[in-house]
Structure 1
Amino acid sequence: MNLTALDKILWAAGFVGHAALLLVLLVRHRSRQFPIFTCFIATHVLVTITLFIISRYGSRHAYSVAYWSTSALDFLFQLALIFEVARVVLRPTGTWVRDARSSFILMGAIGAAIALAFSLAIKPMMPSTLDIWEIRGDLFTALLDCELFLAMLYASNRLGLVWRNHVMGLAQGLTIWAFGAVASDIAHIIYGWSQDFLILDHLLMFLYLATLVYWTVTFWRPEQVREPLSVEMKDYLVALHSRVQYDLEKVTRSRNST
């Protein structure tokens, strides 16, 4: 592989960023709440080491096989991360909030269908079939990240759920990076790939490095402890819930009788 000095710096910076974030997740015990995200970061650390060793001592074919294999694994991790964020937000007590699952699945299914249709419809000007499918896969996951984040935001706001600092930081970082990836992929699709467009890949890598820094700071900081509800407020909420349930059952019986 012929890497420029900037490529080597970005590669090393990515390794340091992932290693630092993994250390924070383990030391601050964030891995308990975000096991998939922790595995995702740990995998990136191992993949960087593996690809570096293969690039130095292996063949071009071995590097190609390892690269495409890890790209497929990264694709699956990105999908799993969305559902991990949804699990934390929409299951605050360990069980799904009523109507949260249906709202999220409906919006997510619509978003996935749109992302898949758009990704398959494009015809990027790339030198090989693998490159074409890489662009399509990257675009699909980036669009899906954005759409599922919006679906989850819609479901949580509709149900009055509160996002905590860490899960909000994780979701915000994913979404910002995904929007950058969408912009880069669309530029590649329209103009093709050339040495001039390496700047897009470098800018996307800088954006990802900034996201790693943001995640590291976010997960290092403790979440704000919310003050417990007073006895009066708890009694009020219980009474309000009972009243809403009673009114709902009354309306349902009224409709059935008609």
Structure 2
Amino acid sequence: MMSEEEKQVKSYSEASTTSSVEIQNWIEAQDLLKKKLIKEDDLEGNGDDLKYVGGVDISFLKEDSSVACGTLVVMDLQTLQVVYDDFSLVTVQVPYVPGFLAFRESSSVPMNAPVLLELLERMKKRAPLLYPQLLMVDGNGILHPRGFGLASHLGVLANLPTIGIGKNLHHVDGLTQTSVRKLLSEGKNNDSIITLKGISGSIWGVAMRSTVDSLKPLYVSIGHRVSLDTAIEIVKITCKYRVPEPIRQVKRIPQEISNGSVRKNNFIAKSDVTYNC
């Protein structure tokens, strides 16, 4: 008889063109990195000195679905103004397999989320004084079939506090999108936050209606080096609309590329610090 992990690998490979051997390697890489995951606050200055918050995303160009755009935006937490942004384009050779978003960008370096890491490393050289103390990731953290989504993966590799921001719910541990939305719609949930507690008793994150006008919830989860309570507070602080500003702003760059309106230099830095760009 097959073990549960063997069944999982088989189902993943049947759902894609990725080989079961490659998926098994991904699982082993996830398990290795997951051992380094920190689910409590480990912020610079205990969070009191939090000034720069970043947002990262990987999306695909409308005109060419084989080209991915990795984007990084950094904002001043007090003003919610963009102080830095950058992007990088890459041709994707690995098909998407549910649960393994962090591996899609490069088949040759499967243990890395190379596009996003490259942007962070580039920023260290170009604008180190604006380097983010925390990242919001357009993707899940521990709210993930294997408890280790893109936000957790990137956080461990970059050694940065991260928060997972999802717009759709991974159906894990008995949690379903329908049941969560039903709970949010009930009048007793005046705070518009539902704790995502699975049938196992594990807490995976929260579903939250980030603004009064939001019709659909966000799914917020621990990425790395941040507690769930802190993640919720930072999301609240950064939400003008349904989606936190670092994520909302990071989404505009691929749109600018598609519209042909991207500036000559693919990054900007705005601050009282002068950089030679």
TM-score range, shorter chain: under 0.3
TM-score, normalization by structure 2: 0.26
Bigger-Rg structure (1/2): 1
Q: Is the strand fraction higher in 1 or 2? A: 2
TM-score, normalization by structure 1: 0.28
Q: Is the helix fraction higher in 1 or 2? A: 1
